[in-house]
Structure 1
């Protein structure tokens, strides 16, 4: 790279893959017949495979690419519970009992992940360090305060509200206009978690197969047949766990998931003491933009990882890296001499109602819809889907008991993403035009 902001060994690949790269598991032939066939090797698919195999079912997981190559190993790795549902209007209009059930199950996802990691002894760098939510604009602080109070009241998490003068307890920057801290949240190394789940699923008896893209599935007497690039697999049960990587293999599901690309960069290892100045308690950090900014320390405490969608029009992570860096420097000018080693993107699975779903269509189950909150949620959805398939529960979670609406103008859903993103960027500009202009012009604050 000729730009001095790029490290000589810069790679357009996830930083996470340095410790736990995706896996080629294409050598073994596909099984001819299984009890449970799972399409997708992300958190949902692997969690479902582990649960079904533990129950004694024969299980196979198929992925069109390498195992763990999708969003599960590309995410920010932040872990929370029900905050997405509280901080958005996803539950607006639901009857009180339905809203309460949604929040209860959302809280359960966080507890489930912690229990899963402990029970299976998963090497995932789970760190319960909390999260700071920063106000991007002065007008956002009152909204954040109300959201924090609602979040505490409805989910019971521990909240601490901070003024702008107090926020340096959490971030070494005057960029935000105050905010709040949730003590109960944390983060994982997402690619290591995916690798650990693959090992646990295999240990329970599941087989995992990469580079076996499913072309279509058909219902036949006694089950289903999946037609793949590498042959056919017959199964009593099928689960689609493809989320933002859903394709035409399931036309019904494809109409219900919107793939939205989010991007991240990683810095080179920081000088000793710098990260402690930037994020004193090494928390996860997000802001209140419509087009969200999220950042965190690497699990080993050596780098800063920074994510956002800096433009409405999608291009390559490398081309967007300078724009993400410009936003990063607005928050932390001290990082100006620090170079970037990685830039990458991954598809988030969004839904029309902004809710996750475990849904059945023509005898096939689907567990999708992380809506940008997937680590704990998708792990929980996969586990619950396996229970439903095998009849191991009498209770359907809220996410499995609601209609799954199609996306309006579904054939145009990919084309409409830039328009929706542009609307978000305009809203952010209206809230804080001076900051957005300074970022676009690449201005670095002259104070640290």
Structure 2
């Protein structure tokens, strides 16, 4: 199909998730004084805000755009426990005792998410359908087996291995050289989950305010913190920065030097025959692979479409411009999809860190939780909750992600579109190409 023919009638360059749950505008006046001002309305910010409000604190959540405009409603919606630490390579160089604690907190984040959604009856389309990790090159199967054994041992998940001859039992494609399936992983609807968190926050007394882009937090009168925004000032006893991939040097300069915003692009197909989706992705599994230049794909929660995420090339482009390259990657894995068009294309920023793990702590006169490294649905929800517990003095122990050691990115001052990203992307693609050959 020619590049200009891949777009379905009514194509939209916005997240597919917004069809069911669009971000909100709230232009009510800002409060002059609160106990806690939360900067960022994503999963971390909303979970922190609700816990603090339920403890009796006055809380306002501030966002520079609409409430939910950022990465939380733009993600792939996949959920897991400790896979990013192991499969994502973060295990390398981590002290064994710290790794054990991180694995424990990663499991805790997945348990927290499931308990939150199921226990409070949140409308989030959470389904535990499993995830297939594919070996994009033959020499990656050794790592697949090694990582699968670590995950099974450390997190208790059920892992099944497939070679190339029988992988169609796990994925309807011959692209991979085998892989593994982890049964306990799954996915949700990011838009619906975020909407449910907004409703939960408001019901707990949290004030949500959009279009209130924050400037750097300053010391205010009487020991308070001053948060100046595009719509006025707020004085707060505590400030929480939960901006993740949308952290900017003009708002949180110290944190911004430590997280790199990497743009990830996604497309959604037009509605597909149900039997085709079941053939390509048996059981509605989530799918990712061993490439450094990451891809991820899944069925939509209602089982009507396939969603596919990746990067289109070395430089940033518009969502519509990115769509043909993402479509080509998708149809390389699933040639059957060349007969179908795409209805949506969108992108969002992922927060990457030097050590490939998330961090929470205190910087820029605020408590913060950032750095999901592409694994944020459960983890950032959990770290938001843990940040609230820390402020309330209710933690039994600090989480493993709460550490002073948070390395700044060399030669980076926190500005958008880092100069080194095209170089890193080219290096990743070259290594992936060489391994596959």
TM range, normalised to the smaller chain? over 0.9
Matches within 5 A, 1:235-246: 235-246=236-247
Matches within 5 A, 1:288-437: 288-361=290-363, 363-411=365-413, 414-433=418-437
Answer with 297-306 or 353-362: which moved more: 353-362
For 1:440, the equivalent position in structure 2 comes to none
Instruction: Find out whether 1:80 has 2:80 as its counterpart.
Output: yes
Quote the Cα distance in structure 2 between the aligned partners of 1:162 and 1:70: 37
Quote the Cα distance in structure 2 between the aligned partners of 1:101 and 1:402: 16
Where 1:415 maps in the other structure, the secondary structure is: coil
Cα displacement (A) at 1:293: 1.0
Cα displacement (A) at 1:91: 3.2
Contact 2:117 2:124 in 1 (8 A): yes
Contact 1:120 1:200 in 2 (8 A): no
Contact 1:82 1:103 in 2 (8 A): yes
Quote the Cα distance in structure 1 between the aligned partners of 2:206 and 2:246: 22
Where 2:413 maps in the other structure, the secondary structure is: helix
Quote the Cα distance in structure 2 between the aligned partners of 1:395 and 1:35: 23
For 1:446, the equivalent position in structure 2 comes to none
Q: State the 4+ residue runs in structure 1 displaced beyond 3 angstroms.
A: none
Quote the Cα distance in structure 1 between the aligned partners of 2:62 and 2:119: 25
Cα displacement (A) at 1:2: 8.4
Quote the Cα distance in structure 2 between the aligned partners of 1:296 and 1:226: 40
For 1:68, the equivalent position in structure 2 comes to 68
Quote the Cα distance in structure 1 between the aligned partners of 2:219 and 2:348: 31
Kindly provide the CA deviation profile for residues 170-189 of structure 1, in whole angstroms up to 9, marking residues without a partner as x.
21111111100000100010
Matches within 5 A, 1:155-194: 155-194=155-194
Contact 1:359 1:404 in 2 (8 A): no
Quote the Cα distance in structure 2 between the aligned partners of 1:380 and 1:318: 33
Answer with 169-178 or 72-81: which moved more: 169-178
For 2:201, the equivalent position in structure 1 comes to 201
Contact 1:43 1:378 in 2 (8 A): yes
Quote the Cα distance in structure 2 between the aligned partners of 1:94 and 1:169: 35
Cα displacement (A) at 1:215: 1.7
Contact 1:216 1:228 in 2 (8 A): no
Quote the Cα distance in structure 2 between the aligned partners of 1:215 and 1:88: 33
Cα displacement (A) at 1:412: 7.5
Contact 1:219 1:362 in 2 (8 A): no
Cα displacement (A) at 1:103: 0.9
Quote the Cα distance in structure 2 between the aligned partners of 1:397 and 1:237: 20
Q: How many equivalent pairs are there?
A: 432
> Taking structure 1 as reference, are residues 215 and 322 closer, same or farther at Cα in structure 2, changes over 3 Å only?
same
Contact 2:259 2:414 in 1 (8 A): no
For 2:15, the equivalent position in structure 1 comes to 14
Cα displacement (A) at 1:334: 1.1
Quote the Cα distance in structure 2 between the aligned partners of 1:404 and 1:290: 23
Where 1:410 maps in the other structure, the secondary structure is: coil
Quote the Cα distance in structure 2 between the aligned partners of 1:277 and 1:88: 28
Where 1:214 maps in the other structure, the secondary structure is: coil
Answer with 328-337 or 288-297: which moved more: 328-337
Normalising by structure 2, report the TM-score.
0.96
Cα displacement (A) at 1:362: 5.6
